[in-house]
Amino acid sequence: MVVPNLCQAAFAMLRQIEPIIVLEQLGSTLFDTALQMVVWDRCANATDPGHSSEDAQQKAMTDFYMINNLIIQLTPIFPALFLARLSDRGRRKAPIVSPLTGYLLSRVILLLVVVLKLPLQVMFAAGTVLGLSGGFTAYWPGVMTLASLGSTAADRSKVLMKVEFMYGLAGVVGSLASGHLFHLYSSSLGHGTILLIISTLLHLLCLLHSIFLLQVKGVSDGEPEENRHLLLRASTNSSVVEAPVEINRVNVSLLFVAAILYDFAVGGAIEVLGAFVLRAPLSWNATLVGYGNAAGCVIFLTSYIGVIGFRRCCSDTSLILIGMVSFAVGIYFMSFVTTTLTFYLARALTLFALIPMTTIRSLLSQQVPASSCGMTLTFLQLALKFASLAYIPAFTKIYQGTLDWFPGFVFTLASIFTVLGMTPISIIGCRSPQRWQYEKI
């Protein structure tokens, strides 16, 4: 009886969303390292009058990422909204299967670029395919929705934090392995080919799992309204509070400003960090790139551990400020990084950097009636998408313009924007100091 029970338990676990989260994140971290190294290698022969060969290589690499990231940020907007609508109508798998298809195709395209020596610009088509499939914009809310539907209201916050924790842990494992896999080489296959084959197979397995094994809870007419519109609310990780009758327009406006400024700072800094670690004096290879990406994934773990610890004694606004201070200090220190050790010290200072956006979404859901919650969070997501139109090219061009005298200037600039984002949060805390308290857990 023991063996059949174990088999049933294992099969039941396979039908949950967690295996998909792990497989997708493992595949994505392998892909990210591969793409970073392939772009760096393809830009090695770039030239730019008046600049050194290394600066020209940096400019070519950051120009590629600027265009590619703009495509990935903007093309998923309408497909993600369409997939969200399908999910609310009962097709819960749609926001999972469609993006996973896009992920698989984009990985296949990069593999073909490497094997067939295709132009690097072909990856812009891969970004377009990924965006039209919904991309991460549709995938992650879909994941959080299924995780929410599979839990009780009392356990939902813990379940969502577990999902985030698994996502971060898988990212750490995949990133640590990615650099070593990149160096695997044979006479017929160049560097990175085996890494990309493994990444592609992981995404194929993930897609097949989502189609044939993943079990979802359907939507019926009798399903509670709370569960029918979880798609945009699932990632808030907020405790249950009574929704207000009217929209608190002042607080909503302040939260929007804080979110945009913070996203501007974080997105802009991360935009150029990948190129920054490849230039002198760091001059990382693929193994160190993988370790660096793993350090970024660790922030998922430390941020949610921080939420669990701080929420016992801190208000929501205090949580946001703790996260913003963590990022502002760490990214300012990054401006002066010259060794691998100091890079990890700077990364360690940003260990709570993911707390602010999650908590801001939680606070927003408390400022509006329940009927407007989904729309408000949708508007926030759209505002952040359009903000990327500004910070992606702005930080890229500033970085390129300061390569000769202060390459880390963009990180100082990101720190300044983070401090500016702390102002509206401080105003909210002063206006209603007793309101924003988490329930004790």
Classify residue 295: in a domain, yes or no.
yes
CA-CA distance, 399 to 62, in Å (whole number)? 9
| Residue 441 in domain | no
Identify whether residues 252 and 209 lie together within a single domain.
no
Q: From first to last of the 441 residues of the chain, give the pLDDT tens digit.
A: 566 667 776 667 777 889 999 999 999 999 999 999 999 999 998 888 878 898 999 999 999 999 999 999 999 989 988 988 888 788 889 999 999 999 999 999 999 999 999 999 999 999 999 999 999 988 988 888 888 776 666 566 667 777 888 999 999 999 999 999 998 875 566 778 999 999 999 999 999 999 999 988 654 444 444 444 433 344 444 444 455 657 788 999 999 999 999 999 999 999 999 999 999 999 999 999 999 999 999 998 999 889 888 888 888 899 999 999 999 999 999 999 999 999 999 999 999 999 999 889 878 877 877 666 656 777 888 888 889 999 999 999 999 999 999 999 999 999 999 999 999 999 998 876 555 444 433
30/95 same-domain check: yes
Q: For residue 235, what pLDDT is reported?
A: 41
Note whether 366 and 414 are same-domain residues. Answer: yes
Query: Does 266 fall in a domain?
Result: yes
- Contact between residue 350 and residue 327 where contact means Cβ atoms under 8 Å apart: yes
Alpha-carbon gap, residue 42 to 68, rounded angstroms: 15
For residue 335, which of 276, 417, 279, 292 has the smallest C-alpha distance?
276
The answer to the question of residue 111 being in a domain is yes
CA distance 388 to 383: 9
pLDDT of residue 94: 92
Query: Quick check: is 164 in a domain?
Result: yes
CATH number, residue 331: 1.20.1250.20
pLDDT of residue 222: 43
Same domain, 316 and 412: yes
- Helix and strand totals (H; E) in the chain: 17, 0
Q: Which helix (H) or strand (E) is 206 found in, with range? A: helix 193-212
In a domain, 390, yes or no: yes
Question: Does residue 406 lie within any of the structural domains?
Answer: yes
Q: Is residue 99 within 8 Å of residue 135, measured between CB atoms?
A: yes
Q: Within this chain, do residues 167 and 254 fall inside the same structural domain, yes or no? A: no
Establish if 437 belongs to a structural domain: no
Q: Do residues 335 and 206 make contact, with C-beta atoms less than 8 angstroms apart?
A: no
Question: For residue 228, what pLDDT is reported?
Answer: 41
Q: Whole-model pTM?
A: 0.88
Q: What are phi and psi of 315, to 5 degrees?
A: -75, 170
- Backbone φ and ψ for 437, nearest 5 degrees, come out as -120, 130
Rg of the chain, C-alpha, whole Å? 22
Please give the pLDDT value at position 233: 40
Q: Are residues 152 and 277 in the same domain?
A: no
Domain hosting 274: range is: 248-428
Cβ–Cβ under 8 Å, residues 339 and 281:
yes
Both 193 and 262 in one domain: the answer is no
Q: How far is CA 383 from CA 34, 192, 259, 260, in A?
A: 31, 36, 9, 7
How far is the C-alpha of 107 from the C-alpha of 105, rounded, in Å?
5
Torsion of CA 392, 395, 399, 402, to 10 degrees: 150
- Examine the domain organization and report whether 161 and 289 are in the same domain: no
Q: What is the dihedral of CA 182, 184, 187, 189, to 10 degrees?
A: -40
Number of domains in the chain: 2
pLDDT at 374: 59
Which DSSP string corresponds to 65-105? Answer: HHHHHHHHHHTTHHHHHHHHHHHHTT-TTHHHHHHHHHHHH
Give the pLDDT of residue 249. 85
Out of 215, 231, 264, pick the residue that ends a domain: 215
